Amino acid sequence: MCRSGTDKVLPAFPIAQLICCIGLSPRTDSMALFIEQLVNGLTVGAVYSLVALGYTMVYGVMRMINFAHGDFFMIGSYLGFTLISSALIGGAIPLWLALVVLVVLAMIGVGLLGIIVERAAYRPLRKSSRLTAVVSAIGVSIFLQNAVMLIWGPRYRAYPPWAVPNIIWQVGDIYINLMQILILAVSFVLMIALYFFVQHTTVGAAIRATAIDHDAARLMGIDVDQIIRLIFLIGPALGAAAGVLLGLYYRQIHFTVGWTYGLKAFTAAIMGGIGNIPGAMVGGLLLGILEMLGAGYVSSAWKDVFVFIILILLLIFRPTGLLGERIAEKV
Amino acid sequence: MAEKGTQTESELKTRLSLPSPRSHISRLGLPAVIVLAVVFPLFAGDYWIDVAVFWGIYVLLGLSLNIIVGEVGLFNMGHAAFFAIGSYTTAILSEQLGLSLWLLLPLSGLAAGVAGYVLARPILHLRGDYLLIVTIGLNEIVRITLLNNPWGLTGGPNGIIMLDQFRIFGYAIQRPIDFYYLVWALVAITVFVLVRLQRSRIGRCWNYVREDEIAAQAMGIDTRWAKLVAFTLGAGIAGATGTVFAAKLVVISPESFNFMESVILFCIVILGGMGSIPGVILGSAGMMVLPELLRNFAQYRMLFFGLALVLMMIFRPQGLWPSKRWTTILREGEGK
């Protein structure tokens, strides 16, 4: 039986360690570590934001937590894995173009899957209670996970290392790699596009109207079913983009990661105020930064625990989110 | 948005009627079932007895969760956390202090019950799906804590080996058949207690809270107290089951208590029918025994299970064996 001595007691005990780090640790002097963790946090945070958008949009329009959303994200990264391992990136087209095609194809595939899932598992339950929809969503999640396990196998899959060249820049004492820049760029482009689409187009106005009141929207001539279908195209598609980006970043993918990332992204969505699109973006970035700072300064073994504690505290004390009612317009 | 379901008179009558204490089942079926249950292991092989042992363990867990989810309507999807607390309490205390398992059975129940009380207190005011998320979070926190081996107690990812067994005057309960009788005796006791509870004042309080919390409050029911009692009791029974689980499994590790386990327990209650005791027994059979019968399709088992959940919700949301007192919650819910 493994039994550790007194020296091991401290690392296993987060609060004691937290106190040590704040008070004594020499690492706190180092600005470079702080900024590096900040950049790491922004990178994962951008991924969380993309996934959180799917939760928040579905919740905004349907008042339902789509428990299967994390699995759309996971399927996105598997689709990306298959596409990247196929002949797509063989040198026929430039690498950057291939990556764009890769992300777009994964988004289309998962977006279509989202529409199918909505039609098959959620639409028949639209008039029933929250619980039935939640259980149905869990059923979908279990189904998708196991379908992926049967198709791609139960073991970890790894993105090929040559997919994105490992270029590292040094800025002062800080190292930033190409993949981090790529993740930030792609997710910000997608988020800005989404924000513009929702706020400044007619269809976007229809989405916002549906979020406020289905019946009133219907009276205004909006096809609510169509809007819900659209939401289930956009949400999973954004999740898929996040999945591909994360696959390229961490390389390893597994069919169970959907739940973990789904829960974290959901935390981000709650943080920003669920139903609130800019909120989900900010919430994701904030959560990523908090998580990475926690991992850097306290202990990486406990970083998921921080996230869940944040989630629980938020739900207890501030269920409307950190951003509060100021930008409370629900989408 | 959704239209309020209109209630017919007959629906209302079903809603108000309590289960009759002497139904057909208890007059004829029950003795037959008991005889069958006692005789079964004398004819079955060890393998099937083992299957029945795990079925029994899941019945106990399902019954404990049924108090929280079924009777009171609190969406708890982190029940494996309490089960884990019970199992680890048993394993740690047995290893460190060498206490008898008969003593650890109530102690683990107590530990999990206290944990349930402390953890549930601040979160009980949360609405349906928010509570669900918080309990998932609690489950993960407990699992990761066990994994990180705090104070070197939990043994990290490898877990703990249990050396002790239940002993009756020196006779150790080790064979599958011994476990079978132990587990199903516990099931019988629990069912007896829970049926009594269902018909008692607190049982009716629980159902009232589930059906309409505001009306219950208006009638002078302390809904917070009713929910806390349910949560503590449910967690406690799950914790006590943890002792049996630890003794049966010998090695317990954090992976036995992951989120999927909580989902399975939740689904047992939903599949069987919320608040229905026979439903829980049937639901756990569906989850534990059916997969053994379909062993050839083992790898497709969870795939079908996911599909079954979706289809159940669409075509039979009240569960396989709905409680007589099962009412409109699934049709009308507590939505807007």
pLDDT digits (tens, 9 = 90+) for A100-116: 888 999 999 999 999 99
If contacts are CB pairs under 8 Å, which of residues 299-318 in chain B contact chain A?
A: 299-300, 302-303, 305-310, 312-314, 317
Give dist(CA B313, CA A30) in Å, integer.
55
B83 CB-side CA count, 13 A: 31
Residue B128: CB partners within 8 Å, gap ≥ 6? Answer: A130, A131, A134, B75, B334
Residues of B in Cβ contact (< 8 Å) with A215 = 1
Distant-in-sequence contacts of A5-10, Cβ < 8 A, 24+ apart: A8/B152, A9/B151, A9/B152
How high is the pLDDT of residue A160? 81
Whether pLDDT at A86 is above 80: no
Beta pairing partners, A171:
A174
Can you read off the two tokens belonging to residue B194? 């829970």
Q: Which member of B133, B140, B333 has the closest CB to residue A315?
A: B133
Lowest-confidence pick of A237-241, A250-254, B23-27, B219-223: B23-27
Whether residue B330 lies within 8 A of chain A, CB to CB, comes out as: yes
Exposed, middle or buried: residue B121 (CB in 10 Å: 0-12, 13-18, 19+)?
A: middle
Whether residue A263 lies within 8 A of chain B, CB to CB, comes out as: yes
Nearest CA to B44 out of B251, B184, B241 is that of B184
Whether pLDDT at A319 is above 60: yes
Mean pLDDT over the full length of chain A? 82
How high is the pLDDT of residue B303? 85
Q: Which of A3, A130, A259, A274 to mutate to test the interface with B (most CBs of B within 10 A)?
A: A130
If contacts are CB pairs under 8 Å, which of residues 115-144 in chain A contact chain B?
A: 120-121, 124-136, 138-144
Residues of B in Cβ contact (< 8 Å) with A1 = 95, 155, 160-161
pLDDT band per the 50, 70, 90 thresholds, residue A13:
very low
Residues of B in Cβ contact (< 8 Å) with A306 = none
If contacts are CB pairs under 8 Å, which of residues 152-211 in chain A contact chain B?
A: none
Longest dimension (CA), chain B: 65
pLDDT band per the 50, 70, 90 thresholds, residue A51:
very high
Residue A167: CB partners within 8 Å, gap ≥ 6? Answer: A177, A178
pLDDT band per the 50, 70, 90 thresholds, residue A257:
confident
Can you read off the two tokens belonging to residue A184? 């930030």
Closest chain B residue by Cα to residue A266: B133
Task: Give the Å distances, CA to CA, from A47 to A40, A239, A244, B253.
Answer: 11, 8, 10, 32
Can you read off the two tokens belonging to residue B215? 């009306």
Whether pLDDT at A190 is above 80: yes
pLDDT band per the 50, 70, 90 thresholds, residue A91:
low
Mean pLDDT for the stretch of residues A255-283:
87
Give dist(CA A331, CA A327) in Å, integer.
11
A18-44: pLDDT as tens digits: 444 444 444 445 777 788 888 889 999
Q: Tell if the CB–CB gap between A130 and B95 is shorter than 8 Å.
A: no
Q: Tell if the CB–CB gap between B330 and A305 is shorter than 8 Å.
A: no
**What is the interface size between A and B, counted as CB pairs within 8 Å?**
161
Can you read off the two tokens belonging to residue A308? 């869940």
Residues of A in Cβ contact (< 8 Å) with B96 = none
Q: Which of A7, A15, A135, A136 to mutate to test the interface with B (most CBs of B within 10 A)?
A: A135
How high is the pLDDT of residue B171? 79
Domains and CATH numbers, chain A: 31-163+184-317 (1.10.3470)
Can you read off the two tokens belonging to residue A178? 């190409």
How many residues are recorded in chain B? 336
How high is the pLDDT of residue A311? 83
Q: Tell if the CB–CB gap between A128 and B329 is shorter than 8 Å.
A: no
Element (H or E) spanning B320, and its range?
none
How high is the pLDDT of residue A8? 37
Give dist(CA B201, CA B205) in Å, integer.
6
Give dist(CA A130, CA A146) in Å, integer.
24
Residues of B in Cβ contact (< 8 Å) with A134 = 75, 128-129, 132
How high is the pLDDT of residue A21? 42
How high is the pLDDT of residue B302? 79
Task: Give the Å distances, CA to CA, from A246 to A49, B157, B264.
Answer: 12, 26, 29
Chain A closest-CA separation from residue B123 CA (Å):
6
pTM for this model (two decimals) = 0.81
How high is the pLDDT of residue A26? 45
Which parts of chain B have pLDDT scores under 70? Answer: 1-27, 298, 324-336
How high is the pLDDT of residue A27? 47
Q: Which of B141, B258, B260 to mutate to test the interface with A (most CBs of A within 10 A)?
A: B141
pLDDT band per the 50, 70, 90 thresholds, residue A327:
very low
How high is the pLDDT of residue B4? 46
Whether residue B283 lies within 8 A of chain A, CB to CB, comes out as: no
Q: What percent of chain A is predicted at pLDDT more than 90?
A: 38
Pairing of strands B167-168, A174-177: unpaired
Can you read off the two tokens belonging to residue B14? 């079903």
Give dist(CA B210, CA A273) in Å, integer.
27
How high is the pLDDT of residue B204? 87
Whether residue B48 lies within 8 A of chain A, CB to CB, comes out as: no
Q: Which member of A124, A139, A319 has the closest CB to residue B306?
A: A139
User: Residue A88, SS3?
Assistant: coil
Q: What percent of chain A is predicted at pLDDT more than 70?
A: 87
Q: How many CB atoms lie within 10 A of CB B163?
A: 10
A123-135: pLDDT as tens digits: 988 888 777 888 8
